[in-house]
Amino acid sequence: MVKPLKPIYLYSLNPHRRSKFRRFTYLGRLQFSSKPDFLEQSESLQTEENKRLLFIVSKVSDILSNPRLQWQTSAELQSLSSKLRPRHVAKLVEIHENTEVALQFFYWVSKRHFYKHDINCYVSMLNRLVFDKKFAPADHVRILMIKACRNEEEMKWVIEYLGELSRKGLGYSLYSFNTLLIQLGKFEMVDAAKSAYQEIMSSGTEPSLLTFNTMINILCKKGRIEEAKLIMSHIYQRGLSPDVFTYTSLILGHCRNGDLDAAFVIFDRMLQDGIDPNAATYTTLINGLCTEGRVDEAMNMLDEMTEKGIEPTVYTYTVPISSLCAVGREKEAVDLVVSMRKRGCEPNVQTYTALISGLSQSGLLEVAIGLYHNMLRKGLLPTMVTFNILITELCGAKKVDRAFNIFRWIEAHGYKPNTITCNALIHGLCLVGNIERAMVLLSEMLKVGPAPTVITYNTLINGYLKQGFLDNAMRLLDLMKNNGCKADEWTYAELISGFCKRGKLDSASALFQEMIKHGLSPNQVNYTALIDGLSKEEKVDDALALLKRMEESGCSPGIETYNAIINGLSKQKRLLEAEKLCNKMAESGLLPNVITYSTLIDGLCRNGGTHLAFKIFHDMERRNCIPNLYTYSSLIYGLCLEGQADNAESLLREMEKKGLAPDHVTYTSLIDGFVALGRLDHALLLLRQMADKGCQPNYRTFGVLLKGLQKEHQLIPGKVSIQHETVCSSTASKKDVSFELLCTLLDRLSEIGCEPSADTYCTLILGLSREGKTYEADQLIAHMREKGFSPTSAVYCSLLVSYCNNLKVDAALEIFDSLIQQGFRPPLSIYQSLICALCRRSRLKEVEVLFENMLGKQWNNDEIVWTILIDGLLKERESELCMKLLHVMESKSCNISFQTYVILAREFSKLDG
């Protein structure tokens, strides 16, 4: 947002006239003196800041007024000049006794490398010159003022102010009119430019070809060709002839409208009129061709211009380079950069940015980063567009730390990250599961900008939903609304889908109704999300009813919508209805795809209909619908469920021959099939094959093998304990037996050539911790260390939570302290687990210490309240402690949003109820 201009003073030649500049104080005719009279200043000026301002102004004014000094070479003035700011210059220009000296000083100070006039300086100088009727220098200062405008808001203000001066006698010269038009074109202020043009035409000032060309160019940039043609008729009426700039602007206008045929007609007419096109003409046509996807024609045009001896500029090359990358022709783009360098045309920031963008989006991210560093080495400062491209691509590739390195470089070098930058970083953090750091970034956006958008909130809501934090997603929706950001269809699509995936259909349905209540029309994504949730919860009739409602509302179902219901019908063995829905889908022009068929197959295989599933499988092959991994995995699962593990393995080999790589789901189903048949050795061989192909077993895979070992242990009493007496002691405890089985599994893995790795141990420990088997997890960690492996922080965090759930608080605190000493930053969920466990053990002093230590780190304060106070303490019914910790937060100036207080109050009222 543009900051409002500071109050300035307008001298009025008629003190009784009510100026439209009412916000400016009328000063009347000031008596100028070399020394400002401090005593006569009003009380409002008697601040320390104004005293310092007036002291510097007084010193400089003394130097300027000393007739014995050549003030331009004064050592004292040179020393003071480094302290001068625009407010000093504006004040000095107002009060100095000699207008000519004030003007010379105005010009002199503007040439200092550390200084730049602001609008107030120009106003002070112009007021003075117009008051003294020095219109020639005033016209020059006016031109400088117009050129100094930095944005549309300033430009509008300056136009209004200059209009007032014009009525005081400062008429526009042709030079100042043309400068105004050019600057209005820079900010694309078309209506203001048209008004200025009309004023020129009616003022008696004879316009030049530059006047007409500037106006034509402003209109053509917006594609307003007919209006530009009208201006062109004025050229002929004045006896002037269009030049290359005129024609190039018209060509640009047609290109902006996507009418390349008309652009080439103008080009031909230009040649017929004997006007030679220049680099800008060719660049405009080349860019137009690239925009329309006609890259080869653009490249031919580039060759044509060089053959005619017209040297392409860096701008000529930039768009073709970007376009070549966009169509996957990166090598040609790089070759074009080499070619331009050979012609002595060095790439600029825009060229590098175009190439970086193209290479990044083509999967050549590392090459793009190399180019970025090359830019820096050459002294070319990237723009925010360059930074945003790199940060977006790095975050999309989950290389968030590298993205933050660039982000920190941006901030350190004075750039202001925009919403695109912050949204990309938040997206990256959510992708890697670091929602807490993303929420910290949201805090910074709310404090210092840029303001979060609906995309920011949607990304964070999706991040919470993926981690299963449904309450926090809803709280963020409330926060979003309270911050004046309106939720859109995609907000609700994410929420409805997230709640459906967690089986919270009532909440999902309520959200669906809420979006309608807020005037949002559900789209295909919204309907499909709820239909999918209903189908998965076996509420297929409700899903069918919603499908009917969807069609009646004029929203056409997509193939994903049909697939969701077909999945539900097939799981309930309602095959005739599923087939009927497939036919209806085909009638609407949507042919069943691999997901449709695979959905049917999966439903049948899970319900004992594998023989029917194979009929569909062969039918999809006849229809040239190629089965995917999910199709084969479903069939393998179905065969194993029916005890046909050998046939399932044959199907595995078939899918491999077709180039489909089995994943851990496929292998685990097959391993489970052989374990169920008591063929553990063959199951272990399959695990070996799985590992050889780079497919990492998960905890479920190991769980299936442990089940097989358990059966083997029961069939052969004593075998396990005898075989492993050197590894672990045998006792009658069930815990010991379980750990012995783990030891047996690790040994059997070694025997088949799958030597247990750190990943193997971590997978097992994480699974055991989630199941609350802390004893076995502890034992396995000790065993892991003996083998020279170190557990990851994720393993320790999982074990810590498991300890807290079992109220083994000291063991949990020991792990926590160890993690902190290693520099690891535990997430808020860890603090929540510890605080709740300490509360249940009535160790409240330790809770306060832990909470205060936590506040010393960087968090989103709203999230602290949501996670620790609401989801932690209030769910434990520790309302007094909750309130006490809230006061601790407030005493440490931890700002909490009003909406979070509302949520907290609501949760307190539930306890009271």
pLDDT at 716: 56
Mean pLDDT on 91-95: 90
How would residue 73 be classed by pLDDT, with cut points 50, 70 and 90?
A: confident
- Which residue carries 């107030």 as its tokens? 120
- Which residue carries 């530059």 as its tokens? 210
Q: Tell me the residue type at 750.
A: S
How would residue 252 be classed by pLDDT, with cut points 50, 70 and 90?
A: very high
Mean pLDDT on 159-165: 91
Cα separation, 127 vs 99, whole angstroms: 11
Q: How far is CA 900 from CA 479, 507, 896, 907, in A?
A: 7, 20, 7, 11
Total count of residues recorded for the chain: 913
Cα separation, 732 vs 617, whole angstroms: 51
Q: Which two tokens stand for residue 839?
A: 């509360």
Cα separation, 395 vs 899, whole angstroms: 30
Q: Which two tokens stand for residue 784?
A: 């892991």
Sign for the pseudo-dihedral over CA of 312, 317, 323, 328:
positive
Which DSSP string corresponds to 528-574?
Answer: HHHHHHHHHTT-HHHHHHHHHHHHHTT----HHHHHHHHHHHHHTT-
Q: Tell me the residue type at 512.
A: F
Sign for the pseudo-dihedral over CA of 75, 80, 82, 85:
negative
- The yes-or-no verdict on residue 137 having pLDDT over 70 is yes
Mean pLDDT on 773-798: 92
On the 0-12 / 13-18 / 19+ scale of CB atoms within 10 A, 513 is exposed
Give the closest residue to 383 by CA, choosing from 352, 424, 425, 423: 352
SS (H, E, C) 714-773: HHCCCHHHHHCCCCCCCCCCHHHHHHHHHHHHHHHHHHCCCCCCHHHHHHHHHHHHHCCC
Q: What are phi and psi of 291, to 5 degrees?
A: -60, -35
How would residue 351 be classed by pLDDT, with cut points 50, 70 and 90?
A: confident
Which DSSP string corresponds to 301-319?
Answer: HHHHHHHTTPPP-HHHHHH
Q: Tell me the residue type at 824.
A: F
Cα separation, 158 vs 150, whole angstroms: 11
- Could you report the per-residue pLDDT of 799-824, keeping only the tens digit for each? 999 999 999 999 999 999 999 999 89
Give the closest residue to 850 by CA, choosing from 881, 878, 895, 876: 881
Residues 592 and 586: beta-carbon distance below 8 Å:
yes
Q: Which two tokens stand for residue 498?
A: 């997230």
Q: Which two tokens stand for residue 6?
A: 């500071």
CA angle (507, 510, 511) in 5-degree steps:
90
Residues 330 and 324: beta-carbon distance below 8 Å:
yes
On the 0-12 / 13-18 / 19+ scale of CB atoms within 10 A, 894 is middle
Whole-number mean pLDDT of the chain?
87
How would residue 47 be classed by pLDDT, with cut points 50, 70 and 90?
A: low
Cα separation, 539 vs 412, whole angstroms: 56
- Could you report the per-residue pLDDT of 477-504, keeping only the tens digit for each? 999 999 999 999 999 999 999 999 888 9
Give the closest residue to 446 by CA, choosing from 898, 817, 827, 748: 898
Angle between helix 99-110 and 119-131 (nearest 10)? 160
446-455, 488-497, 714-723 — which is least confidently predicted? 714-723
On the 0-12 / 13-18 / 19+ scale of CB atoms within 10 A, 336 is buried
pLDDT at 72: 84
- The yes-or-no verdict on residue 576 having pLDDT over 90 is no
602-616, 744-758, 829-843 — which is least confidently predicted? 602-616
Residues 486 and 514: beta-carbon distance below 8 Å:
no
- The yes-or-no verdict on residue 297 having pLDDT over 90 is yes
When comparing pLDDT for 604 and 469, which is higher?
469
- The yes-or-no verdict on residue 184 having pLDDT over 80 is yes
Residues 289 and 324: beta-carbon distance below 8 Å:
no
CA angle (8, 14, 15) in 5-degree steps:
65
Cα separation, 674 vs 845, whole angstroms: 55
Q: How many CB atoms lie within 10 A of CB 727?
A: 14
Cα separation, 590 vs 203, whole angstroms: 66
pLDDT at 477: 94
Residues 455 and 480: beta-carbon distance below 8 Å:
no
State whether residue 597 is helix, strand or coil.
Answer: helix
Q: Which two tokens stand for residue 554?
A: 């004029």
Helix count and strand count (H, E) for the chain: 49, 0
Cα separation, 358 vs 354, whole angstroms: 6
Q: What are phi and psi of 787, to 5 degrees?
A: -85, 0
On the 0-12 / 13-18 / 19+ scale of CB atoms within 10 A, 576 is exposed
Cα separation, 808 vs 802, whole angstroms: 9
- The yes-or-no verdict on residue 730 having pLDDT over 60 is no
Q: Which long-range contacts (CB under 8 A, 24 or more apart) does 148-155 make?
A: 148/117, 148/118, 148/119, 148/122, 149/119, 149/183, 149/187, 151/2, 151/187, 152/187, 152/189, 153/2, 154/2, 154/5, 154/119, 155/183, 155/184, 155/187, 155/189, 155/192
Cα separation, 8 vs 120, whole angstroms: 6
- The yes-or-no verdict on residue 148 having pLDDT over 80 is yes
Q: Which two tokens stand for residue 511?
A: 């959200």
- Which residue carries 């295909």 as its tokens? 524
Mean pLDDT on 66-85: 84
User: With b meaning 16 or more CB within 10 Å and e meaning fewer, what string describes 532-544?
Assistant: bbbbbbebbebbb
Mean pLDDT on 579-597: 87
Mean pLDDT on 679-705: 93
- The yes-or-no verdict on residue 1 having pLDDT over 70 is no
- Could you report the per-residue pLDDT of 11-38, keeping only the tens digit for each? 333 332 233 332 233 233 333 333 333 3
How would residue 323 be classed by pLDDT, with cut points 50, 70 and 90?
A: confident
Q: Tell me the residue type at 348.
A: N
pLDDT at 8: 39
Cα separation, 837 vs 858, whole angstroms: 23
pLDDT at 354: 86
894 CB contacts (<8 Å, ≥6 apart)?
A: 855, 861, 864
Q: pTM, whole model, 2 decimals?
A: 0.74
Sign for the pseudo-dihedral over CA of 886, 891, 893, 899:
positive
pLDDT at 381: 85
Q: Which two tokens stand for residue 246?
A: 């005129």
Mean pLDDT on 76-102: 89
How would residue 161 be classed by pLDDT, with cut points 50, 70 and 90?
A: very high
How would residue 714 be classed by pLDDT, with cut points 50, 70 and 90?
A: confident
50 CB contacts (<8 Å, ≥6 apart)?
A: 41
Q: Diameter of the chain by CA atoms?
A: 115
DSSP state at residue 608 = T
For a pLDDT cut of 90, what percent of the chain falls above it?
63
State whether residue 523 is helix, strand or coil.
Answer: coil
When comparing pLDDT for 8 and 535, which is higher?
535
